[in-house]
Amino acid sequence: MLASLVALSLPAVLAAQAPAAGAPLRLSFADAVRAASSEAPAVALAALRTDEADARVRQVRAALLPSLSLGGSWLNRTFNSKSLGIDFSFPTAPGQPPATLPELIGPFNLYDARVSASQALLDWSSMARVRASRAQADGSRAERGVTVEATALTAALAYLRGVRAQAVVAARRADSTIAAELVGLAEAQKAAGVSAAIDVTRARTQLVTAEGLLLVARNQLDRARIDLTRALGIDPGTPLAFTDTLTATLGAAEVPATRDSAVAVGLGNRPDLRAELARAGAARQTGAAIRAERLPRLEVAADYGVNGRTVPGAISTRDLTLQVSVPILDGFRREARLAEQNAVVRESQVRERDLRQQIAADVDGALLDLHSAEAQQAVAAERLRLASDELAQSRERFKAGVAGNIEVIDAQSNLIRARDTDIDARFAAASARVSLARAAGVARTLH
d(CA 280, CA 344) in angstroms, rounded, equals 7
The per-residue pLDDT for 9 is 46
Predicted pLDDT at 85: 74
CA atoms within 13 Å, Cβ hemisphere of 216? 10
How many whole angstroms separate alpha carbon 434 and alpha carbon 120?
53
SS3 content of the chain, % helix, strand, coil (to 5): 65, 15, 20
* Number of domains making up the chain: 1
Q: How many Cβ atoms are within 10 Å of 444's Cβ, its own excluded?
A: 22
Per-residue pLDDT of the chain (447 residues; tens, 9 = 90+): 333 434 444 544 454 454 455 678 899 999 999 989 888 899 999 999 999 999 999 999 998 999 999 999 999 988 887 787 777 777 777 767 777 777 788 888 899 999 999 999 988 988 999 999 999 999 899 999 999 999 999 999 999 999 999 999 999 999 898 888 888 888 887 887 777 788 788 888 888 988 999 999 999 999 999 999 999 988 888 888 899 999 988 988 888 888 999 999 999 999 999 999 999 999 999 999 889 888 899 999 999 999 988 888 889 999 999 999 988 888 888 899 899 999 999 999 999 999 999 999 999 999 999 999 999 999 999 999 999 998 888 888 877 777 777 888 888 889 999 999 999 999 999 999 999 999 999 988 888
Q: What is the spatial distance between Cα 313 and Cα 414, in angstroms, rounded to a whole number? A: 108
Length of the chain: 447
Whether 318 maps to a domain, the answer reads no
Query: Which range of residues forms the domain containing residue 243?
Result: 22-67+122-294+333-445
CATH number, domain of 395, equals 1.20.1600.10
Could you tell me the maximum CA-CA distance found in the chain, to the nearest angstrom?
156
* 107 within domain boundaries: no
In a domain, 320, yes or no: no
| 8 assigned to some structural domain | no
DSSP H helices, 240-319, are: 259-269, 271-292
Tell me, yes or no, whether 33 lies in a domain: yes
